[in-house]
């Protein structure tokens, strides 16, 4: 007997507020639970290495996303 893969994975909602030169100011997305912030940003066309995500304090970009609101800040570097 074959084991059945769970086809309905739980979805979470995340509201992003973008600060610092993005094409949009806010975006609410619904993603599968277990997805990382870096994957979501890539799906939105944003290079995760160019931003910092903040929810009260900075969140590691490779952390598994959780439901709620986060701010995305563009990192500016120069030399």
Question: Cα–Cα distance between 29 and 18 in angstroms, integer?
Answer: 13
Q: What is the pLDDT of residue 23?
A: 87
Q: What is the pLDDT of residue 12?
A: 97
78 Cβ contact partners less than 8 Å away, ≥ 6 residues apart: none
**Mean pLDDT calculated for residue range 51-61:** 96
Which CATH fold would you assign to the domain 11-74?
Answer: Ubiquitin-like (UB roll) (3.10.20)
Could you report the per-residue pLDDT of 22-47, keeping only the tens digit for each?
A: 888 999 999 999 999 999 999 999 99
Q: What is the pLDDT of residue 78?
A: 66
Strands (E) located in 1-79: 11-19, 26-32, 51-55, 57-59, 68-74
Find where tokens 């086809």 sit.
Answer: 7
Question: Cα–Cα distance between 18 and 40 in angstroms, integer?
Answer: 14
pLDDT at 49 exceeding the cut of 60: yes
pTM of the model: 0.83
Q: Assess contact for 57 and 4: CB atoms under 8 A.
A: no
All structural domains of the chain with their residue ranges = 11-74
More confident residue, 64 or 5: 64
């Amino acid at each position: 007997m074959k084991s059945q893969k769970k086809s309905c994975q739980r979805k979470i909602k995340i509201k992003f507020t973008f600060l610092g030169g993005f094409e949009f100011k806010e975006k609410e997305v619904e993603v599968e639970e277990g997805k990382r912030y870096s994957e979501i940003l890539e799906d939105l066309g944003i290079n995760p290495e160019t931003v910092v995500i903040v929810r009260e304090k900075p969140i590691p970009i490779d952390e598994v996303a959780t439901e709620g609101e986060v701010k995305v800040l563009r990192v500016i570097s120069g030399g």
